[in-house]
Structure 1
Amino acid sequence: LEMDFIKPVFDAALAAHTDHTRPFSVLTFAQSLDGCIGSADNSQPLRLSGTESMSLTHSLRHLCDGILVGSGTLVNDNPRLNVRPELLVSSDSTAVLSSAPSHPRPIILDSNLRTPPTANIVLLKNRPIIVCSFNPSSTHSSDILKRQSDLEAVDVQILNLEGVSLHDNIPRILTTLKSVYNINSLMIEGGSRVISSFLTLGSNAVDLLVVTVAPMFVGINGVKANDGNSIVTLSDPTYKQFGRDMVLVSKLP
């Protein structure tokens, strides 16, 4: 079952994690056979993961302290980024569900504070969240300051890395999450720019890669998982089928 598969893999990769200046990081996403993670038509959400592989995703969320997505994913999908207890399945489900599920702390890479105060992750109010923001100019615009005030009014914590590009400074973000916010394990879920940034950094930022491949083709309207120009070759991947989907697990070079 899903937890029986991923927990030993997670624990082994965690034991091999030696860079204690940053969180143990898991990059995970679902894609189609032609490498798409979504559709450019946001009015029609694309469901890629089947029930079994979705259970695997929620098992990983249960194991991690934090979960990171980009502002595009947040604005377009309005995800909850929590753990659904009914999807935590193992051969010893009592051990998994003997207490309330552990919800990871949401972390949003949000350059211009696009996160709405009415987003699901804010309204749930079951744990604080972090919005990472930067402003290229030394002077904050009144619009940015108003957005920051609105978010702080609903208990959103703002980590402001002023004057830097978030995607060019992921190592700095990771060390800050570890040292300031005590995020020891981190799940990275997307979207495409976030995935590309972490793939480019490889093992300097990612300890475990988990990719669900759904048996479908999206076509020309698809949003590619990797929109970067780096070729990433996996040396020792393993595969396991969950329902209709194939799940790939690997380290990054």
Structure 2
Amino acid sequence: MREFEELVAEAEAVSVEGWDFSWLEGRATEERPSWGYQRAMGERLARVGAALDIQTGGGEVLAGVPKLPPVMAATESWPPNVAKATALLHPLGAVVVADADEPPLPFADAAFDLVTSRHPVTVWWEEIARVLQPGGTYFSQQVGPASVFELVEYFLGPQPEDVRRARHPEDARRAAEAAGLEVVDLRAESLRTEFFDIGAVVYFLRKVVWMVPGFSVEQYRDRLRELDEEIRREGSFVAHTTRFLIEGRKPDRGVQWGI
């Protein structure tokens, strides 16, 4: 394995734009959820006339489905990702809208048959329900509670229980139902994640910025050196990613009105 300084310098210099983690190939691994989100999303997109993908990142997941519906929109808030998603998705017939990720969504009521989102940072349930047509579906894979917290707590120390429980799938169920959606599927899994060199850790923390807020190599250099020694000794650093799948349906008007 290369020396600490070389690995860290390389990981500091590489671009972290978009939501493509291919730079980690051979340097880190993460188990995938059994439900196969992109495949399942693609199946749903192929059956609808109008869809919205919220917080699309660089558009990589959406661009990977076999067929987009006739009307396909995506939102993204981070300017570098907006540019990347636009370049990737426009040739496929999807429009990318720069959105601040705050209510309201820049779309009319009942505009979409399907709303999707992979790993949203925030979820505005009332807005999702508003832009869905009656009978429409929200389909999302989300980060669950205490995800990769072995790594988070390595740098930040033990976290309070309320922080560890944040993003619990049952909280998502309650919020969806409060917005008027019927939750038809909710599944959660804990997945083994391994980092095989310190560069992979630096890259991950630079890209997933909410894990260790304000992370920089300069601030955490001593702790990174300790972790580098542990990885060399143990062969990897093991953490656990948590993911959940939620699917909610907006009731038909006939159901709402008792018809």
Same structural fold, with TM-score higher than 0.5 when normalized by the shorter chain: no
Q: TM-score normalized by structure 1?
A: 0.26
Q: TM-score normalized by structure 2?
A: 0.26
Higher fraction of helix: 2
- Bigger radius of gyration: 2
